[in-house]
Amino acid sequence: MALLQISEPGQSPDPHQRRIAVGIDLGTTHSLVAAVRNGVAECLADDEGRVLLPSVVRYLENNGRQIGHAAQAAQAQDPANTIASVKRFMGRGLADIADRDKLPYDFIGATEGALSSTGMLSLRTRAGEKSPVEVSAEILATLRYRAEDTFGDDLYGAVITVPAYFDDAQRQATKDAAQLAGIQVLRLINEPTAAAIAYGLDNASEGVYAVYDLGGGTFDISILRLTRGVFEVIATGGDSALGGDDYDRALADWMLQSRGLQASTPADKAAIQIAARAAKEALSATENIASEVHLTVATARFDVQRSDFEGATADLTARTLSAVRKALRDAKLGKDEIKGVVMVGGSTRMPQVLRAVAQFFGTEPLTNLNPDEVVALGAAIQANQLAGNDPGGDLLLLDVIPLSLGIETMGGLVERIVPRNETIPSAKAQDFTTYKDGQTALALHVVQGERDLVADCRSLARFELRGIPPMAAGAARIRVTFTVDADGLLSVSAKEQGSGVEARIDVKPSYGLSDAQIAQMLQDSFSTAEQDMKARAWTEAKVDAQRMLMATQSALDADGQLLQAQERTQIEALMAALRETAASSQEAVAIEAATDALAKGTENFAAQRMNNGIRKALAGKNVETI
């Protein structure tokens, strides 16, 4: 007799069957992998019991490489071939790396080398040209092997964390690196959200929380509202080029200046950077530290006080608090409305950072979890749920996009379709129409930014919708749909509703926004709001005027014989006046007035055309049979 295997609804028929899913924190200075084991999230260690994997890759002769601790140990001896902090280069072009003269790498721009088509910078090593995606894939693959060795089974998938302020290009580069490492990405989630999960805020009392995340290379601030197990990110901000590396560099510059020295060679730059990092870490526990650095010209000894370090880096700490203020303004909240502050990232161990955050919010931040591990732990909890290992989990994440997305319309204007801080995943649609009679194709230009003019925003992608049936201007109905998935990645489709012709594109920009561009976009959207409104009104008035002129001329060509000579002369005079006003006036009101005058001047003509059309339609018909 055949037996049926009975299982509870929502549970696996085999109670021991489990998919191996992990959370990965791909960090600037360190990376790590975590998983839920026996119902508890924990970080996975290597063969020597070390949880943290330095995010460093060294390329050797004959395609050899060292990853992690061995590579980090050789950083001073072989700086040009030992790539550290590669996360800062993900999705970036050469012009985006402002401090590249202080780095020991041989950068290659997008116009050089085999990788020129990607638009992303690359680095020249003895093993050849390497993109940041390839270097990151080496780190991710090492973490994947660690997880598979731990469980003795293949990895099903991973949740990978990214800074909340990573733009579309940086997120796509992270997914590409995971694919290159043979990892299925279950989801990209923002690092602050992962930290909130790890802290168990879903089990905490409802309210608004701030997550202050200062890592090795990036800073994020997220304002989250917790309601019945739902994490809703209501505002986010930060700087994807501000982190512990910058504190190291500022201290290194201070050390050299205090002795009147310079780091002129790649080896000197690496040596002073390593010494500065060691001093920074020591000064978190002590008031002063003595450091000795072997430079090309001499061996230098430095005595560094904690006050010296804090003075050299005060502006960096101030920059993080400036981003916090902006995020609170976006959330329309005061700092006294924040219920708790979660500290994330190894750089938050610095006493001046803890002190500044406590003074700003007026409350001691939460620091009871290891700041290096908290993001990976949260990602592991989310991965376990997405893999189906926790069917009873009721955690819901609602992240947001950092910058508005829209499309170019006539006159170089931006029609914003997905606004900044919109919850994702999200799908929004808007209807557009054609500009000219008989138009059979439409060029669509997707842009990102907060300004009203395309010239002031960043271009993401272009594509065309072809095969539109010829119709009168304005008759076609084209629905443009923007879809932002749970990873924050964008796809755009356009469909002509009558004929059903459709085109779509997955937006994969060649490289990301610079940090200055991100900050400038947000600042400009406020400081130039009045100017943008005037420019938009003027452009819209000109577009309306051109459409009115084209429609009137088309009507004259078709039915001009219906008019008396004097009537036609009056209409042509109004058309000439509108053309002159549109060409010379800088005021939208004047153009609108001339357009209205032409519209009123052609009302009688429009009525005659309608009557004539009705007469033609009824010619030869019996009224009783209609």
Positions annotated as catalytic residues are 25, 87, 191, 213
Phi, psi for residue 472 in degrees, rounded to 5: -65, 150
Amino acid letter at 233?
V
Q: Identify whether 425 is preceded by a cis peptide bond (ω within 30 of 0).
A: yes
d(CA 490, CA 168): 7
d(CA 581, CA 585): 5
Report yes or no: 52 and 369 within 8 Å, Cβ to Cβ: no
User: Dihedral of CA 436/458/90/164: which sign?
Assistant: negative
* DSSP secondary structure of 425-438: SEEEEEEE--SSTT
d(CA 542, CA 335): 45
Report yes or no: 20 and 147 within 8 Å, Cβ to Cβ: yes
Task: Give the Cβ contact number of residue 481 at 10 Å.
Answer: 16
Report yes or no: 353 and 153 within 8 Å, Cβ to Cβ: no
d(CA 192, CA 205): 18
Q: Is 158 exposed, middle or buried (0-12, 13-18, 19+ CB in 10 A)?
A: buried
Q: Is 350 exposed, middle or buried (0-12, 13-18, 19+ CB in 10 A)?
A: buried
Secondary structure class of 428 (helix, strand, coil): strand
Q: Identify whether 13 is preceded by a cis peptide bond (ω within 30 of 0).
A: no
d(CA 326, CA 319): 11
d(CA 168, CA 256): 38
Report yes or no: 90 and 133 within 8 Å, Cβ to Cβ: yes
596 Cβ contact partners less than 8 Å away, ≥ 6 residues apart: none
d(CA 442, CA 478): 9
CA distances (Å), 63 to each of 56, 81, 170, in order?
Answer: 16, 12, 27
Q: Which of 378, 343, 336 is nearest to 361 (CA)?
A: 336
Q: Which of 302, 318, 196 is nearest to 255 (CA)?
A: 302
d(CA 398, CA 354): 28
d(CA 466, CA 501): 8
The distance of Cα 368 from the centroid of its chain, to the nearest Å, equals: 30
d(CA 101, CA 401): 32
Q: Which of 258, 257, 302 is nearest to 279 (CA)?
A: 302
